[in-house]
Structure 1
Amino acid sequence: MSTQGSDFGLFQTAVMLEDQVHDRTKELEAALRENEKINRALHRAQEQMQREIEQRKKAYEALEHEKEEQKILIAKLEQAMNQLVQTEKLASLGSLVAGVAHELNTPLGIAVTVSSSLKAMVDNLLAQVDTGTLRKQTLLDVLAQCREAGILLDKNLQRAANLIGTFKQVAVDQTSVQRRRFDLRQAIDEVLTTLHPKLKHTAHRLEVAVAPGIMLDSYPGPIEQIITNFITNSLLHGFEGIDSGTIRIEAKTNADHATLSYSDNGQGMSEAVAKRAFDPFFTTKLGKGSSGLGLYIVYNMATSVLGGSISLSSTPGQGTRFDLSLPLTAPLASH
């Protein structure tokens, strides 16, 4: 009985172990299936990640390519901007050329007329000498007329020479950005002489309160260009619809700076327009011949070339004022 009981116990143990092995095997098979499922999911995730990496790599390469294209585009835009600015400067100089040429017509026309009259008088005098009919009084009259003609010729040719000399200096200053020591009042007078044709056919008044003797070691060309742009801006915008206005230019010095102020009593600017006045291509005359570069050029010349600063104050109906703070000795700058 004890032997049979022992065998039965072993049998039960074996059955129990078999059941445990079976259960464990099922657990292991389930674990293997779960592991395979995880591996497949991981593989899919790796493939997805690889695809995303490739996509991001392509996107990065596309972004880098776009950045390079943008750099090229920005360089082209800067080049185009510089060309437009130079064109605007040359257009301003061309306007001065036309004005000076028109102004020269009067003295040169008078000189030509006097010269022709003088030649006719001399020819008539020689004819009387040849025929022996010359009288003393006739000779005295002709000599008096020749004297008057000479004075008239000298006056008008001197006027033409001064105009040409002034324009030549202004043109050289504006085109070469030449640095030199100069009197601020003299530079202002020179550019105002070339701008006279723009103003003489208007009823606008120009007041200059700049004392002689304010000496600058700087660039007169940009200062002349700034004044030219200011006056052009007043005539085109400030005095629109105004028959008789006043432009005032004044200057004072303190320590190592000169303050040059320009103002007109025109229609002024709104706050929104004043905030954008120095922006490139901003103009209230879009499509009417205005490039919108005038005050942009002014700002860059005042700050970059002359090493100063510029401020604008304006109120609608009460005019516009620009104040430039300019060092008496301009910093060395690359142009």
Structure 2
Amino acid sequence: MADLMVSAAAGEEQQLRNEITRLNKVVQALMNRAERSMNAPGSDFGLFQTAIVLEDQVRDRTRELEAALRENEKINRALQRTKVQMEREIDERKRAHAALEREREEQKVLIARLEQAMNQLVQAEKLAALGSLVAGVAHELNTPLGNSLTVASTLNDVIRNFMERFNAGNLSKQVLVNFIAQCREAAQLIERNSQRAAELIGNFKQVAVDQTSMRRRKFDLRQALDEVLSTLQPNLRHTRHRLEIKVEPGIELEGYPGPIEQIIANLLTNSLLHGFDGIDEGTMFISAERHGTDHVALTFSDDGIGMTEATARRAFDPFFTTKLGKGGSGLGLYITYNLATVALGGTIKLASSPGQGARFELLLPRVAPEAPAVDEEIHAT
């Protein structure tokens, strides 16, 4: 733009110069003619006067043209300065664009590092949850296995005493009857404790398979909840907190029970760690009911300390926690949100206020999406 303006001004300046040259030639021609007329016999002096007037007019026009030429030169200098300034601004914009490109590349590297760190934290969260689950199941198994071991040891003493009397030949009917009764009682105790241990191991295996393999199957919602809650009971055993369940049997879903079990585990852990902070005795509630023909409404709530509006608004954000450095990673509810919305194809809403507890409402389709697009590592966390 500046180049075009400078070029136009230069053309106008050249036209002015050409006009001045032409007028000077006309004046010179008239002067020559006047001189010839004065020297010629019988010349008219009026022609000379006319030439003088024309010379004055040309002189005035010449001054006007010279003033216009000077003004044009000022314009040219201004245009030149504008051109230099525009070129400088273009260079600055090019440098700014290059700086933005470098910053964008740096941001790409930072985002890649952040995603890597997030994946590592998710993996750590998964291992921590698995370790807590294993520790809880091991603690729960300790009771039936310990009882079985005690009964087996007692039974071994009874059998040894019986064998001693048998070898001594002083058996009586009453001794035999007592021996049979003790053996029957011991067998019943061992059977009950073994069944309890087998049930715990079966539930643990079911939860472990569902959470790691994302195995699609048809399942009863109440049964799936009972399986995962049986493995979470050790977390409640040494507290005065209670868990109430209102889920009727027969609500059948087709999809992935693992994410549902992980959601319940995360929400229960969130209530124990955050909701009941400073509260010795609280209650958690789990309920579910059919919602139309294609969905199920699953609700988890507690009567804990609740959340402020600012905290509730960021509850599902990754790495956000009110317990940083005190057992909170900021990924539990973020993973819960991803599992509910992506893996299960549903929605999740949070309602909470200070002193009023927290309420998580999930609306899940009875038939989950065929191919969840979330990384299985996140599902297994």
Amino acid at match of 2:318: P
Retained in 2: the 8 A contact 1:217–1:328? yes
> Match of 1:334?
373
Tell me the matched-pair count: 333
Q: 1:5 to 1:113 in 2, by over 3 A?
A: farther
Q: Report deviation, 1:214.
A: 0.6
> Match of 2:337?
299
> Match of 1:53?
90
- Structure 2 counterparts to residues 193-208 of structure 1, below 5 A: 193-208=230-245
Name whichever of 73-82 and 120-129 sits farther off: 120-129
TM-score (norm 1): 0.87
Task: State how far apart, in whole Å, the 2-side matches of 1:176 and 1:12 are.
Answer: 117
Amino acid at match of 1:199: L
Task: State how far apart, in whole Å, the 2-side matches of 1:122 and 1:237 are.
Answer: 53
Structure 1: 5+ residue stretches without partners: none
What is the DSSP-based 3-state SS (H/G/I as helix, E as strand, rest coil) of the residue aligned with 2:316?
Answer: coil
Q: Report deviation, 1:101.
A: 1.1
Amino acid at match of 1:328: R
Task: State how far apart, in whole Å, the 2-side matches of 1:265 and 1:118 are.
Answer: 48
Q: Report deviation, 1:143.
A: 4.6
Task: State how far apart, in whole Å, the 1-side matches of 2:281 and 2:79 are.
Answer: 85
> Match of 2:122?
85
Task: State how far apart, in whole Å, the 2-side matches of 1:227 and 1:107 are.
Answer: 26
Name whichever of 170-179 and 35-44 sits farther off: 35-44
> Match of 1:112?
149
> Match of 1:135?
171
Is 2:356 aligned against 1:311? no
> Match of 2:326?
288
Is 2:78 aligned against 1:41? yes
TM-score (norm 2): 0.77
Q: Report deviation, 1:315.
A: 4.0
Amino acid at match of 1:334: A
Amino acid at match of 1:84: L
Task: State how far apart, in whole Å, the 2-side matches of 1:324 and 1:83 are.
Answer: 28
> Match of 1:16?
53
- Structure 2 counterparts to residues 66-81 of structure 1, below 5 A: 66-81=103-118
What is the DSSP-based 3-state SS (H/G/I as helix, E as strand, rest coil) of the residue aligned with 2:207?
Answer: helix
What is the DSSP-based 3-state SS (H/G/I as helix, E as strand, rest coil) of the residue aligned with 1:324?
Answer: strand
Task: State how far apart, in whole Å, the 1-side matches of 2:278 and 2:94 are.
Answer: 62
Q: 1:315 to 1:41 in 2, by over 3 A?
A: closer
Task: State how far apart, in whole Å, the 2-side matches of 1:123 and 1:114 are.
Answer: 14
Amino acid at match of 1:69: E
What is the DSSP-based 3-state SS (H/G/I as helix, E as strand, rest coil) of the residue aligned with 1:182?
Answer: strand
> Match of 1:160?
197
Q: Report deviation, 1:312.
A: 2.3
What is the DSSP-based 3-state SS (H/G/I as helix, E as strand, rest coil) of the residue aligned with 1:216?
Answer: strand
Amino acid at match of 1:55: E
